[in-house]
Homo-oligomer: A and B are copies of this chain.
Amino acid sequence: MAVVTILGAGAMGAALTTPALAAGNEVRLWGTWLDDDILAALRAGRPHPRIDVPIDQAAVLFDSGDLAAALDGAELVILAISSDGVVDVLRRAAPHLRPGLPLLVTTKGFGYDPDGKVGLLPPLLRAVMPGELADGCPIVAIGGPCKANEVAVGRPTAAVFGCADVGVAERAAALLGTEVYRLATTDDVDGIEASAAMKNVYAIALGIADGLAETGGEPWHNLKAATFAQAATEMQRLATALGGRAETAVGLAGVGDLEVTGLSGRNKVYGARIGRGEPATAALDEMVAAGQTVEGVAAARFAAELAEQRALDGLPLLGAITEVLAGAEEPAARITAAVLPAGR
């Protein structure tokens, strides 16, 4: 039993209270300044507004102003903040952290390092922490197919925790794992992070095949599956280019998470709207206006820039998605051309 503090009361942060409590921990859920409506709903005993699932009231709720209290005595901190906000939250939390405290990070995506190079999140997070924390707070990456609503209700879920010091990942897994939230561990942080960020990008392309099917009334399963195979190939290339291992991209954090992200979620839904014929930019504007972040859009831009900075080859699907997101005409034809073999 340990004190587990979850920063961020959105879908995934709240969902993780379920295994964290089931594993016997004291669980604290801190909401950002954007989460006030969520905490109000939970305090009133209503379901979590984002995932429509009740959250066990044994999780102690902390408002955004009570960050110090939420972190006091924490033995494991889970950063469950959107990629937009994670750096800001970590900066505010840093004064209340101590060396040796593991940070489990559910946030996925890319960012810029001080030299303007695109990179994965863990080094960027370390860069905003004071020196003794940057060296002393091990970052644990989470990968694997985890829809938050299913984690919250305790449906069987597999995830993988990754840390350069695999012993830290194993201790975090020992604190959070249950019979139904089961955890593998690895030292391949880069492989997890690259796969997790890119699956959101490629899910947009998977959604396009679904949108074509919705429009025509007939499945485009062959195209969706060819897209999946090409995405798996490109995820392996990006994982290795970023210092990870190809095998991670074809495990739980890679094809496993790609499978679930292609079944449901905002990235797939956005792709389906494009596949149905909506202009990519207008459809995105509508989703953003409705408060629906499509994480794959920003990740696609970063990944395209990264590919250019590092002169990476063999990423035609990423190239096609980038064009489609920029408003290119005939999006389905572009995706198709990128995923079918070049020969005849």
Interface of A toward B, CB cutoff 8 Å:
23, 144-147, 150-151, 153, 155-158, 160, 170, 173-174, 177-180, 182-185, 218-226, 228-229, 232-233, 236, 250-252, 254-257, 259-260, 263-264, 336, 339-344
Residues of chain B contacted by A158 (CB below 8 angstroms): 222, 226, 229, 339-341
Q: Are A222 and B151 within 8 A (Cβ)? A: yes
Write out the residue numbers on chain B whose beta carbons fall within 8 Å of the beta carbon of A344: 23, 173-174, 177-179, 182-183
Which residues of B have CB within 8 Å of A222?
Answer: 145-147, 150-151, 155-158, 260
Complex contacts, A174 vs chain B, CB 8 Å: 344
Q: Is B226 a contact of A255 with CB atoms below 8 Å?
A: no
User: Could you say how many copies of this chain the assembly holds?
Assistant: 2
Instruction: Give 6 A-B contacts (CB < 8 Å), ordered by A residue.
Output: A144-B229, A170-B343, A182-B342, A182-B344, A219-B263, A259-B259
B157 close to A341 (CB less than 8 A): no
Q: Which residues of B contact A180 (CB under 8 A)?
A: 340
CA A225 to CA B264, docked complex, whole Å: 11
Q: Which residues of B contact A218 (CB under 8 A)?
A: 150, 153, 155
Q: Which of B23, B145, B228 contacts A255 (CB 8 A)?
A: B228
Known: A158-B341, A180-B340, A255-B255. 11 other contacts (CB 8 A): A23-B344, A147-B222, A156-B223, A158-B226, A221-B264, A224-B259, A225-B263, A226-B252, A228-B255, A228-B256, A252-B341
